[in-house]
Amino acid sequence: MSNKMWGGRFTERPDAIMEEINVSIDVDRHLYAQDIAASKAHAAMLSAQGIITANDAKNIARGLDTILSEIGNGSFDFKRALEDIHMNVESRLGELIGPAAGRLHTARSRNDQVATDFRLYVRDTIDETDAALAAFQQALVARAIEHAGTVMPGFTHLQTAQPVTFGHHLLAYVEMTARDRGRFADARNRLNESPLGAAALAGTSFPIDRAATAKALGFDRPMANSLDAVSDRDFVLETLSAAAIASVHLSRFAEEIVIWTSPLVGLVRLSDKYTTGSSIMPQKRNPDAAELVRAKTGRVIGALTALLIVMKGLPLAYQKDMQEDKQGAMEAFGALSLAIRAMTAMVADMVPDQARMKAAAGEGYATATDLADWLVRTLKMPFRDAHHVTGRIVARASKRGVPLHQLALEEMQAIEPKITRDALSVLSVEASVKSRTSYGGTAPKNVLAQAKAWLKRLEKERKLG
């Protein structure tokens, strides 16, 4: 027999190759809950509008509920010959309730159906991602409060630059994550319009109520243009962009964990739970989870790039190319979810080596800027001159092989006679971080205040959520 759905026009079965390239059920089966929800909303609306009878609508809803539980409990028989989730569900509905199943597709097409299903799916994904990112922020904030005053080296060019606090460093990721969440929220806001009822591309001659189905599915309103409704996938692109940026943030943090836990650096230790050993080198503790977070970023960026390329040459309206929107996106969202959860776990797990951090913070003349600032503040030197004088003092200390605070006062005075003992008080790493009280700066009291403000904000959000 030729295809049930379009057998009127077709007499032959598709070739095996045709079926293989066309089939999407392995991917779009993941849309089953959304597909069934959308069909139930559509059937209820058709009945309310007098387009199908109340009895047919009741049977359709009952049949769809049966299918939902069949798929949920694994007893549903997905058929590749039926191509996709929409036709698998409709075909099974026919088996369950008979000819009334054929009325469900009135005033609808798979084009608006798939656009609706995938919007619902992406919306669910955004909500799950947001919750995971909030948990990540909570983990970071808890550690930031604990380490508001823990001094570590801050880097630029990966060279020791100025002392900062570990809490300050962790709060940087809380801020980044807040922007990531904002991007997901923006994407959600824009995607939350219903394509259902756009039908194939031109709308329908039936007196449907698109506002009703939009409302039933939690959309803010129906999409205003039927051609647009079935042919854009910008909501996937936008969400993938947010996912790609979030992944890049996680990847940078993962890279830092890899660096910090290297024995060469030794600033942080991860427990056995988040490291692996080597089959040959007994001493090894490899930060595999962090490395894989770093690597998963490739999948997310890849999915975004792939879909941009799929979409870029497509004329309106629906083109089958768009079927390729789902697999990469679903894999990317899965990879991001795993990466967020792994980073959250590692944040809670990691133990900074505070003595090593403090020692490293003072290495490389990291408080040189503090001395230059003292010269400006106390001797009213222009900063450029102070920079030059400090540079000469650093060179002298380096020649003697001592850190700045161990260079004799006389040696400093040989370079700048007006330097007093008071200058030595700014050279410790603790004094350095304590002095950075400008808004957003690394002073422990700033960091603690910021961390506590975040804690409050996240707790409030959790209560509202």
Print the binding letters for residues 320-359 with ligand ARG: x by CB under 6 A, - otherwise. Answer: x-xx------------------------------------
Residues 355-384 that bind ligand ARG (CB under 6 A): none
Pairing of strands 268-269, 351-352: antiparallel
Distance of closest approach, residue 23 Cβ to ligand ARG, in angstroms: 9
Residue (113 or 297) nearer to ligand ARG, CB: 113
Pairing of strands 193-194, 221-222: parallel
Distance of closest approach, residue 323 Cβ to ligand ARG, in angstroms: 4
Among 35, 84, 90, 112, binds ligand ARG (CB under 6 A): 84
**CB under 6 A: which stretch of 54-62, 108-116, 306-314, 446-454 binds ligand ARG?**
108-116
Residue (110 or 143) nearer to ligand ARG, CB: 110
Residue owning tokens 């939350």: 192
Distance of closest approach, residue 318 Cβ to ligand ARG, in angstroms: 6
**CB under 6 A: which stretch of 109-117, 179-187, 282-290, 336-344 binds ligand ARG?**
109-117
- Judge whether 353 and 269 are in contact, CB under 8 Å: yes
Residue (152 or 329) nearer to ligand ARG, CB: 329
Among 42, 108, 110, 147, binds ligand ARG (CB under 6 A): 110
Among 47, 111, 162, 239, binds ligand ARG (CB under 6 A): 111
Q: Does 28 bind ligand ARG (CB under 6 A)?
A: yes
- Judge whether 51 and 104 are in contact, CB under 8 Å: no
Distance of closest approach, residue 314 Cβ to ligand ARG, in angstroms: 12
Residue 146 token pair:
């604990």
Count interface residues toward ligand ARG (CB under 6 A). Answer: 10
Catalytic residue among 157, 205, 279, 438: 157
Strand runs (DSSP E) across 284-427, as ranges?
351-352
Distance of closest approach, residue 24 Cβ to ligand ARG, in angstroms: 4
Q: Does 210 bind ligand ARG (CB under 6 A)?
A: no
Going by C-alpha positions, the residue among 335, 122, 341 that lies closest to residue 237 is: 122
Residue (112 or 130) nearer to ligand ARG, CB: 112
Going by C-alpha positions, the residue among 439, 20, 34 that lies closest to residue 216 is: 34
Q: Does 232 bind ligand ARG (CB under 6 A)?
A: no
Give the angle subtended at the CA of 11 by the CAs of 6 and 17, to the nearest 5°: 85
278 is catalytic: yes
Residue (227 or 292) nearer to ligand ARG, CB: 227
From residue 235, how far is each of 122, 292, 320 by CA, in Å? Answer: 8, 27, 17
Q: H helices then E strands: how many in the chain?
A: 18, 6
Residue (40 or 108) nearer to ligand ARG, CB: 108
Residue owning tokens 């989870």: 289
| DSSP letter for each residue of 252-317 | HHHHHHHHHHSTTT-SEE--GGG-B--SS-TT--B-HHHHHHHHHHHHHHHHHHHHHHHHTTPPSS
Distance of closest approach, residue 429 Cβ to ligand ARG, in angstroms: 58
From residue 292, how far is each of 101, 258, 296, 336 by CA, in Å? Answer: 47, 11, 6, 11
From residue 3, how far is each of 10, 77, 85, 176, 200 by CA, in Å? Answer: 7, 18, 15, 51, 19
Residue 398 token pair:
């380096």
Residue 464 token pair:
């509202």
Type of residue at 92: R
DSSP at 50: T
Catalytic residue among 262, 271, 278, 425: 278
Residue (25 or 131) nearer to ligand ARG, CB: 25
CB hemisphere CA count around 53 (13 angstroms): 7
Distance of closest approach, residue 321 Cβ to ligand ARG, in angstroms: 9
- Judge whether 137 and 465 are in contact, CB under 8 Å: no
Among 114, 336, 340, 347, binds ligand ARG (CB under 6 A): 114
Residues 304-323 that bind ligand ARG (CB under 6 A): 318, 320, 322-323
Which residues are at the interface with ligand ARG (CB under 6 A)?
24, 28, 84, 110-111, 114, 318, 320, 322-323
Known catalytic residues are 157, 278
